[in-house]
Amino acid sequence: MLAITRVAVIGAGAAGICASRFLAARHDIFDHVVYELSESIGGTWVYTDRTGKDEHGFNIHSSMYKYLCTNFPKELMGYPDTDFNPDLPSYVSHWDVKDYLDDYAQKYDVLDHVQFSTVVTKVVPVGNTANAKWEVTVRHLQTDVEEKHVYDAVFICNGHYSVPRMPDLPGADTFTGKILHSHSYREPSVFEGQTVVCLGAGPSGTDIGLEVATVASHVVLSHNNTPFVCPLPDNLEQLPGIEQLEGDTVVFIGGARRRADVVLFCTGYEYTYPFLSSACGVVVEEKTRVTPMFKHCINIQHPSMFLIGLPTNVVPLIIFHYQVLFALAVLEGTVKLPTKDQMLAEEEAELKKRFAIGWKKSYAHKVNADLLEEYLADLAKLGAVKPLPAVKSAIYRFSLEMIFTHLMSFKTFNYELIDDKNFKLVKAK
């Protein structure tokens, strides 16, 4: 008889419920618990009007805003073997995503494994590094009771879209308007008639910039990327990044100046693991690179710790699925990891490749359309999982281009799958 492997999963967002699903499916060899700070599954997709702190004094986790419609079509939004409701259009609301995750958790018996209102406060390795066990300290928020449990493996699924990355702008202390981060943005009406500078043109910056432009008198989308050349609202202009703030004025790189009521930082989020003791061997460099990691998901110092969902610029749920199956293959022993030195060398070589194409350290976990196929094929091969059908990669590439060429209208199209390789784009009714 095989020994039972005890596993703790931290967080019941989309990554944690995926891990729980596959651990539950192998209950003959895995006994697992999911610890979730809040009262429901879904993490990011649990919308709340609240900002600031929750009733237990924790920072509000979700950065979701009221009218968010996904930036990827549902054909890419879901886990690779579980489709969204076919009656929905391709671009869906955050409510639809939450429903999808609820259905998934129900279908795969996840809920029985989740301890809600339970925060993980500390994770410490016990025993030798090659085969460490983990002492996990949790606090039950309703009773304030603290417990410690020992596990053979830990899946860290606490998300990385909650702690704002705030740029340090010269003159910020002199600015007479409001400075906010998109983490606390909920809906546009509060900006009616104002001049708003959105700093950053990633998915949040562009989406929020367009939303705010429906009510604001003027919006500046401030960024150093290639400017959008597609149609944009008449009251939205693009300017380079911010150089400094002076009283009621924003000074942009190159010298342009605009008076502004609000500067809204759409500058992304930090990776944080407040519960990991230093003995866990994982550090976060420049708030954006978690190291040392093998294949962006295994702690090289202690390979029974898995961090699910580190990659950025990705189709997240697809990545979670492949990372979880790879991690389980490692735990089950069907994949033999390279030596520690080999894994460290691979991580170093990969980072060097990224630097060579001009990427910064903050892109250490970027898996864009060019890297996605290779990354997933690699995980699929190691984990003996079916690779992603070519049609999904093709939609990914195409849908990213659509954002750039049709920023105001790309969500009005639907994707229809013809076969494993081909799709067609149709105007939504």
Instruction: CB nearer to ligand FAD: give 16 or 188.
Output: 16
CA 273-279-283 angle, 5° bins:
45
Quote the least distance from Cβ 248 to ligand FAD, whole Å. 29
Q: Which residues here bind ligand FAD, judged by CB under 6 A?
A: 10-16, 35-38, 43-45, 61, 63-64, 68, 70-72, 77, 119-120, 157-159, 161, 204, 275, 309, 315-316
CA 375 to chain centroid: 17
Structure tokens at 234: 């008449």
Min dist CB 321 to ligand FAD, Å, is 12
CB of 160 to ligand FAD, least distance (A): 7
Residue type, 194: Q
| Amino acid letter for position 372 | L
> Minimum distance between the CB of residue 145 and ligand FAD, rounded to whole angstroms?
15
**C-beta of 71 vs 414, nearer to ligand FAD:** 71
User: Which one, of 360, 212, 214, lies nearest residue 222 by Cα?
Assistant: 212
Which residue, 11 or 209, has its beta carbon nearer to ligand FAD?
A: 11
CB of 36 to ligand FAD, least distance (A): 5
Question: Nearest distance from residue 24's CB to ligand FAD, in Å?
Answer: 17
The alpha helices in 181-310, defined as continuous H runs, are 203-213
Q: For residues 245 and 314, which CB has a smaller minimum distance to ligand FAD in the complex?
A: 314
HEC letters along 86-141: CCCCCCCEHHHHHHHHHHHHHHCCCHHHEECCEEEEEEEEECCCCCCEEEEEEEEC
Nearer to ligand FAD, 184 or 238 (CB): 184
Beta carbon nearer to ligand FAD, 70 or 291 = 70
Residue 77, CB half-sphere, CA atoms under 13 Å: how many?
24
Residue with smaller CB distance to ligand FAD, 5 or 71 = 71
Tokens of 56: 């237990």
Q: How far is the CB of 33 from ligand FAD (least distance, A)?
A: 11
Shortest reach from residue 208's CB to ligand FAD, in Å: 9
Dump the DSSP string for 247-269.
TTEEEETTS-EEE-SEEEE---E
Query: Looking up tokens 């939004």, which residue turns up?
Result: 77
Measured from the CB atom, is 250 or 280 closer to ligand FAD? Answer: 280
239: left (phi over 0), alpha (psi -120 to 50) or beta: beta
CB contact at 8 A, 156 and 299: no
Burial class, 246, CB count within 10 angstroms (exposed 0-12 / middle 13-18 / buried 19+): middle
